[in-house]
Structure 1
Amino acid sequence: MSFHIPEHLIGLTDEEVQRSHQKFGYNQMKQIEKSSWIKLLFDILREPMLILLIIIAIIYLAVGNYGEALFMLAAIILVSGISFYQDNRSQKALEELEKLNEPLSRVIRNSKIVEIPTHEIAVGDLCITEEGKMINADGKIVHSNDFSVNESSLTGESFSVFKDNTSEDRQVYNGTSTVSGLAVFEVEHIGKETKLGKIGESISAIKDEKSPLQKQIEQFLKYMAIIGVTVFLLVCAVNYYHTRNIVDSLLNGLTLAMSILPEEIPVAFTTFMALGAWKLMRDGIIIKKSNIVETLGSATVICTDKTGTITENSMHLKAVYDFRSDKVFNDQQFNDESVSELTQYAMWSSEPVPFDPMEKSLHQVYGETQKVDLRPEFEMFHEYPLDGKPPMMTHLFKNEKGERIIAAKGAPEAIINVCQLSKEDQSKIRKEIDEFGKQGYRLLGVAKSNFEGDDFPKKQQDIQFEFLGMVVFYDPPKKGIDEVFRKFKEAGIKIKVITGDNAQTAKSIALQSGIRGVSDPVNGDEISHLSEEELMKVVDQKVLFTRMFPEAKLRVINALKKNNEVVVMLGDGVNDGPALKAAHIGVAMGEKGTEIAKAAAAVILTNDDLGKLVTAIAAGRRIYTNIKKAVQYIISIHIPIILTVSLPLFLGWAFPQIFTPVHVIFLELVMGPTCSIVYENEPMEKNTMTQKPRPMSETFLTMRELIISIIQGLVITAGVLFIYQLTYRNGGDEDMTRSMVFTTLIFANILLSFANRSFYYTMFESFRNKNNLLIYITLGTLGMLMIMLYVGPVTQFFKLNSLNLNQLLTAGSAAVISVMWFEIYKLIKRTFNSNKDKI
């Protein structure tokens, strides 16, 4: 919106801004704390795995095992390093998101309009606010034009209040929203000193609710912790009973506790969500909270506004219908004298400084077609803002001679209702409305009045108007929008169009955009008269909702939620705010969306490309699937470690301490990066966007998935313990048995990480999805294993023996058999499912 600064509005100088910041601080509710590396490190050192490592290191030092103590120290540094790297990566991603989420504010400084981050607003600044914008500080109005504000966030009253610099109350407040016009206000209070800030101090203490997935993972970890403590005590007791050695008993118990503790899961969850949100940000999709990524993958229904969301919001004036001549004039005939009055009154009924695309178009046509521009001579002295169902607005202008112009525009039905027209004339106009509507055109009725005197009625609908005609706009669907909706349909996501436009126009645009099932629309008035039960049925069956006002939109969203749908609401206007806030995921347009819409939304599409929402939903599904893969991998590989450490002790086998803490920590160091770095980087499987959305109520691991992971772990355990017994029975000593068992487990771990890349496609099909990190970590793991087996001092430290080729092949064969059965299972499952689909 163009705004000419009045000469008396100079604003602060750079020096005055600096002094104001020094005296009053910045416009923030609280000082944002950046996580320093010291704080990150301190948080890491409180992790259970690190605490266990430190305890074991202290025990080794106490008994004089300095080599093991040094190894534990190295392990502490390495584990801390991996955690620090992951936390730092997540923290940086979240900080980048935070920066993008902060709105910009327009202020006058040094007699120029500049855009600044909202936290930089200073006391004394001259802030500019306009329709659709949030007010970001408290202050008093010094200049305004047709300005009204909604203060419901403070007062609870939903109606808008008109204010100007002559009003008794000329204060504006942080957190309120501009409904119409423009105002310049001088900032008096910022941050926690604002009216909202004082209320907000108590609100800021309220913590964000955890997502269902977070709660499920925390519950799972609690169970594992209880199991870990129980088994730790049991192992300590059994070992002490056999050996009467407290140190060995503690080390055995701690070894098992380390093997049980799945501390990789919360790290993986945080990393996946934060990096997922960061990657989407690079694609032009701003996610305000990283756990929204999880919900995106569960979306079952998308409710979309029409204008600016499905369409380009270009609003080109395509034609005008002149009522007097009963003729339609196209955009090449706007200079015709017959339509001069109609185009004039269409412009006069718009805002003097237009910001709506339709009003900008009307001002442009007026400037191009009128011989004399009367805009500088006339000043608006009274107005009726947009209201009514359907809505209309009226502007009253006068010049120095006292001549008046009274112009109204709005939904054609609203303008017809305030004009004294015969039934025949109404029928004629409605026929034109239908014809234009079928072509997807947006229509506004235009009328004039000769009202005299200053005793203006309270409602504009009480003024007598003369119908002049209609202005016809075309707002075409965005290019490629039909392909976007086809992808949503393939993904099992339903589409609902919720628009303030009339039925014919909305239906035509919906059909042009590839949306089906729009033949029987329902309008906002019908919605408001339905009972809760009736509405739940209607929102399930209908696709097109027309002439919708904010309260009706909100009712539709809430009814869909009661139908157990996971609702995504797309919108860009002020009136979309309540629905955006109420939906599970509100999505606002970044370029043409109002600030109110962006503030209410959880996701912002920076370039208004609806196709980005397909990317976001696909990312949500990919991340959720990859978290499950990581968790299933962790469960499967922990089982053989736990059982290999505990069963020889409980069953009284020859070598009860086959693994010591140094072996377990090595396995943990291999598993950590595999689950949190490799699986996070795993590409989306090709069938991801052809599956039905995941129900929100579904646990992150179903019983069936958990059983599969347990079976995977038990089969690997069987293979590892088979090698244990085979080596022992063939005369192997403790070091040789340990070497064979350890090598088998490492091979099985590598194969499992490849097998669990997909629970649908085979390992060999998954190779088509490039994941170079998996290759690097696999090669790194094999390299370390070779060093442990064949570099003398390292081999002795880990109490291993070098293996010959035959022994390596034996260990490898056991690993292949214990993991690769799952590939056969996947093939059988797919064949069975495809045959089932054919029946």
Structure 2
Amino acid sequence: MDVGLSDAEAARRLREEGPNELAPAARRPLWRLLLSVLTEPMFGLLLACGALYALLGNAQEAWTLMGFVVVVMAISLVQQQRAERSLHALRELSAPRAQVWREGRVCRVPSRELVRGDTVLLDAGDRVPADMRLLAATGVSVDESLLTGESAPVFKSATERMDAAACLFAGTLLTAGSARGEVVATGARSALGRLGASLGGVTVAASPVQLETARIVRVAAAVGLGLAALLALLYGWQRQDALQGLLAGLTLAMAILPEELPVVLTLFLGLGAWRLAREKVLVRQMSAVEALGATTVLCVDKTGTLTLNRMAVRRLWSPQGEHDLVSERDLPLPEAVHETLEYAILASHRQAIDPMERALQEAGQRELAQTEHLHADWTLVEDYPLSAELLAMSRVWQSPDRRERLIAAKGAPEAVIDLCHLDAARQSRIVGQVARLADQGWRVLGVARAVFAADRLPPIQHDFDFEFVGLVALEDPLRPEVPAAIAECRAAGIRVVMMTGDHPSTAVSVARQAGLDVAGGVVPGTALAALDDAGWQDQVARSSVFCRVQPEQKLRLVQALQARGEVVAMTGDGVNDAPALRAAHIGVAMGARGTDVAREAADLVLMQDSLAGLVTAVRHGRRVFANLRKAMVFVLAAHVPIIGLTFLPVLLGWPMLLMPVHVLCLQLVIDPACSLVFEAQPAEPGLMQVPPRPRQMRLFDRHLLLRSLGQGLGLALACLAAYAGALAFGESAESGRALSYGLLVLGSVILIFANRHWAVAAWRTRVRDGMGWLAPGAVLLVAAAWWVPPLRQAFAFERPGFPAVGAGLLLLGLAAVWFEWVKQRTP
């Protein structure tokens, strides 16, 4: 028996021949990242301001401004690199994986680690990871359109000749059957590599929130440029100083332009996807991160998602007797059920991948060892695979000591009963036994046998004269974390719908164990077939458990739920699940047992195939969207006082309170706050105890804008009052500017505190997630600008007196109270 390469030999070949990839995912070099930062509008404005300072003869101000430009540019560069690293890590995780024989066991390895000589196992829906010579093939057809342009599938078979009919080529897709092949060429040496094809990295589609943010930035930029031009003209006309007027206009443009928004959004979605990857949930489409928070229905399969997908034979039944392999494990297997297990194994693949077939083989090795009921010397003649029309499969064998062919069949009990053409009495007895076993939550298979003497085999299974042999009950235990996950979904207002191909009794038993709602009954796929669209919508409204569902019916169930206004997340693993995954708002593929077709059609991939992973993803999606709204409130609120302190002094005839260096220095507070503090903010208490947000809810809705405007206006008035108060205390304009600016910086920090949690007041929360250094840093920044002479001169400050500082602290306290009041009044 082929045991495959050893791990040591595979590692040696990988070192010598290189990875199985055509072009590694390229990361942008440092100079490209630097160029992308330098070409942002904000830096163009800053360079223009530096040039104006030079023209005005203020060399120190120009150099100070350039120094801050370097600091802020470094922060932006670090943020860009962080996002790049996250996306690169996601590319590594999303690389395809392959099933290989290594040292006599089946294991999954990244496709890039395949080497020449590896034995690879493929099933329908898998993408071929390297050029291979077929060693065994059962009903294999391949889509080779990637290489040839021909859309019709090509049939393949294992032959002694090394021709195209016996080879599978990298990048092609298995559309039917199963295969075992030996890798003969990898990477650039494969057919795909010789054609010069290039594998691109993961492309991230623009999400609705990203499009909305881009529109907000465009509108703000247009308004900002218009107001900046107006301010420049107004200042120049009032004070007869065109250069200073232009400087004031550029400062206002910097104040209005919310350049942080796209950066914040990119970081939130990228880092949110990376956090999910650490929870074994791979994000293939960034839009899924934000959509998760609006999910109202989770459509899940039973096997592997609710259960462990570790099948074990529990009970064997035949008309002559039965045996429980757990409660009667110490007793020898009765002769009455020997043939039931024997023919169930013969109806399975020898190198089994399917969990049920593995369980049958394990039971056979344990219970039938040293008996005549295991047939390693029999030759496989033909295979009749499972189909949508007949949920049963048959394998035709040739015994060395018999001329006739022996046929073993297994599948859904009703399909096997149909193959055997039983009379009503025998059918009734078998159906009763199926119901009894299925009521335990076990998966039940029917087993049949036939003898065929002619040389030419018939085209369909129904042409064999089958004899019913018995039933096999397999147990797939419920995942221990599933009941808690479903309870969490229920508390969060999310409905879980189970769609399975299992028997109705099995489906309802597992549903009850999991805690699903079974009050609406169990609806079989046959009952759905006769319904119109209105009937489908009525069924999905009343029922949460669907059994004997065909893959194409999953698509209609998803569409029926969507027609009722639900936001649907759908799990799937097979080739035929791809349309339903595409149709769902969030398609979720299984990483361990899913096909490549399903993974390519999905938005998320569960690396551990568990419902708990999907619930974790929903929880993360809600957290990301909630934290994103907090960050946006802070960014917009922080810009309001900057705009006010730039524009209003000109209208009031005051000196300029904010200059470019002040605005730039504020970026040292705003950018780290958005990217570090808000993104890392943990979920609000009770986040999963509230209904999902409406699908049509926008990021920049009325509540967000009102909260931003309300908090920002409060801080702007406090800063203006600080300047006016300083003048009333007899301070100079420079002292008033220093006090007003200090209030703006520290008020921005308090604004962060206020918006970290919307459910509780700021003073009831712990200092964490970056605030431990951000708040002291802001205080040190203000102190340095007041007390260090070169900085004081660059900022055009004078140190304010203690009475003015005391009044400023009082205003700061009032601003903090105002922030909380606005937060409570704008839900």
- TM-score after normalising by structure 1: 0.90
Residue 563 of structure 1 corresponds to which residue in structure 2?
A: 564
Residue 833 of structure 1 corresponds to which residue in structure 2?
A: none
Residue 77 of structure 2 corresponds to which residue in structure 1?
A: 84
Residue 385 of structure 2 corresponds to which residue in structure 1?
A: 385
Distance 1:763 1:565 in 2: 35
- Correspondences of 1:530-679 after superposition (within 5 Å): 530-651=531-652, 653=653, 655-679=654-678
- Compare 235-244 and 372-381 and name the one that shifted more: 372-381
- Compare 780-789 and 181-190 and name the one that shifted more: 181-190
Distance 2:106 2:546 in 1: 41
- Compare 750-759 and 224-233 and name the one that shifted more: 750-759
1:809 aligns with 2:806: yes
Aligned partner of 1:343 among 338, 341, 355: 341
Q: Deviations over 1:383-416 (max 9, x none)?
A: 2111244500011111233343211111000011
Seen in structure 2, the aligned counterparts of structure 1 residues 17 and 644 have a Cα distance that, compared at 3 Å, is closer
Residue 264 of structure 1 corresponds to which residue in structure 2?
A: 260
1:27 aligns with 2:21: yes
1:312 aligns with 2:308: yes
Aligned partner of 1:779 among 776, 781, 786: 776
Aligned partner of 2:157 among 122, 146, 163: 163
- Compare 110-119 and 399-408 and name the one that shifted more: 110-119
Seen in structure 2, the aligned counterparts of structure 1 residues 363 and 137 have a Cα distance that, compared at 3 Å, is closer
1:60 aligns with 2:53: yes
Say what the alpha-carbon RMSD is for the aligned residues. 3.3
Distance 1:145 1:34 in 2: 39
Aligned partner of 1:796 among 793, 796, 816: 793
Instruction: State the 1:357 CA deviation.
Output: 1.7
Instruction: Give the counterpart letter for 1:744 in structure 2.
Output: L
Aligned partner of 1:352 among 350, 365, 372: 350
Instruction: State the 1:480 CA deviation.
Output: 2.6
- Compare 213-222 and 796-805 and name the one that shifted more: 796-805
Equivalenced residue count is 815
Give the conservation status (yes or no) of the 8 Å contact 1:367–1:373: no
Aligned partner of 1:243 among 239, 245, 255: 239
Give the conservation status (yes or no) of the 8 Å contact 1:484–1:614: yes
Distance 2:610 2:201 in 1: 36
Q: Deviations over 1:399-455 (max 9, x none)?
A: 233343211111000011111322111111111111112211110001111222123
Give the conservation status (yes or no) of the 8 Å contact 1:506–1:546: yes
Distance 2:220 2:36 in 1: 21
Instruction: Give the counterpart letter for 2:136 in structure 1.
Output: S
Aligned partner of 2:179 among 172, 176, 182: 182
Instruction: State the 1:603 CA deviation.
Output: 2.3
SS in 2 for 1:307: coil
Residue 143 of structure 1 corresponds to which residue in structure 2?
A: 135
Instruction: Give the counterpart letter for 2:759 in structure 1.
Output: Y
Aligned partner of 1:131 among 119, 123, 136: 123
1:739 aligns with 2:745: no
Instruction: State the 1:340 CA deviation.
Output: 1.3
Instruction: State the 1:725 CA deviation.
Output: 2.5
Give the conservation status (yes or no) of the 8 Å contact 1:27–1:121: no
- Correspondences of 1:359-374 after superposition (within 5 Å): 359-370=357-368, 371-372=371-372, 374=374
Residue 834 of structure 1 corresponds to which residue in structure 2?
A: none
Residue 444 of structure 1 corresponds to which residue in structure 2?
A: 445
Q: Deviations over 1:718-766 (max 9, x none)?
A: 222222333334433211221222122223212211111123321123x
Give the conservation status (yes or no) of the 8 Å contact 2:3–2:103: no
SS in 1 for 2:165: coil
Aligned partner of 1:283 among 264, 275, 279: 279
Distance 1:553 1:261 in 2: 47
Give the conservation status (yes or no) of the 8 Å contact 1:317–1:471: yes
Distance 1:268 1:635 in 2: 12
Distance 1:289 1:771 in 2: 31
Give the conservation status (yes or no) of the 8 Å contact 1:762–1:827: no
Give the conservation status (yes or no) of the 8 Å contact 1:760–1:826: no
Give the conservation status (yes or no) of the 8 Å contact 2:511–2:518: no
Instruction: State the 1:240 CA deviation.
Output: 1.3
Which consecutive residues of structure 1, in runs of 5 or more, have no partner in the other structure?
Answer: 831-839
Instruction: State the 1:309 CA deviation.
Output: 0.8
Distance 2:698 2:106 in 1: 52
Instruction: State the 1:648 CA deviation.
Output: 1.5
Residue 503 of structure 1 corresponds to which residue in structure 2?
A: 504
Give the conservation status (yes or no) of the 8 Å contact 1:139–1:187: yes
Aligned partner of 2:249 among 233, 247, 253: 253
Residue 99 of structure 1 corresponds to which residue in structure 2?
A: 92
Give the conservation status (yes or no) of the 8 Å contact 1:485–1:514: yes
Distance 2:356 2:372 in 1: 22
Residue 411 of structure 1 corresponds to which residue in structure 2?
A: 412
Give the conservation status (yes or no) of the 8 Å contact 1:484–1:611: yes
Percentage of identical aligned residues: 30
Instruction: State the 1:277 CA deviation.
Output: 1.7
Distance 2:155 2:550 in 1: 19
Distance 1:84 1:660 in 2: 24
Seen in structure 2, the aligned counterparts of structure 1 residues 419 and 480 have a Cα distance that, compared at 3 Å, is same
SS in 1 for 2:569: strand
Q: Deviations over 1:496-547 (max 9, x none)?
A: 1011111110110011011113552222233344333432332233211111
Give the conservation status (yes or no) of the 8 Å contact 2:252–2:647: yes
Q: Deviations over 1:256-291 (max 9, x none)?
A: 111111111111111111112222222322223444
Instruction: Give the counterpart letter for 1:774 in structure 2.
Output: M
Distance 2:203 2:595 in 1: 28
Instruction: State the 1:352 CA deviation.
Output: 2.0
Give the conservation status (yes or no) of the 8 Å contact 1:747–1:812: no
Instruction: Give the counterpart letter for 1:773 in structure 2.
Output: G
Seen in structure 2, the aligned counterparts of structure 1 residues 806 and 730 have a Cα distance that, compared at 3 Å, is closer
Give the conservation status (yes or no) of the 8 Å contact 1:102–1:118: yes
Distance 2:272 2:202 in 1: 26
1:751 aligns with 2:750: yes
Distance 1:231 1:704 in 2: 25
- TM-score after normalising by structure 2: 0.91
Instruction: State the 1:341 CA deviation.
Output: 1.6
Residue 690 of structure 2 corresponds to which residue in structure 1?
A: 691
Residue 516 of structure 1 corresponds to which residue in structure 2?
A: 517
Residue 705 of structure 1 corresponds to which residue in structure 2?
A: 704
Give the conservation status (yes or no) of the 8 Å contact 1:389–1:414: no
Instruction: Give the counterpart letter for 1:131 in structure 2.
Output: D
Distance 1:208 1:669 in 2: 29
Distance 1:204 1:141 in 2: 26
Distance 1:750 1:16 in 2: 53
Seen in structure 2, the aligned counterparts of structure 1 residues 186 and 685 have a Cα distance that, compared at 3 Å, is closer
Aligned partner of 2:41 among 35, 48, 51: 48
- Compare 351-360 and 283-292 and name the one that shifted more: 283-292
Which consecutive residues of structure 2, in runs of 5 or more, have no partner in the other structure?
Answer: none
Instruction: State the 1:823 CA deviation.
Output: 2.1
Instruction: Give the counterpart letter for 2:661 in structure 1.
Output: V
Instruction: State the 1:228 CA deviation.
Output: 0.9
Give the conservation status (yes or no) of the 8 Å contact 1:175–1:196: no
1:394 aligns with 2:408: no
Instruction: Give the counterpart letter for 1:777 in structure 2.
Output: L
Seen in structure 2, the aligned counterparts of structure 1 residues 141 and 473 have a Cα distance that, compared at 3 Å, is same
Distance 2:444 2:810 in 1: 74
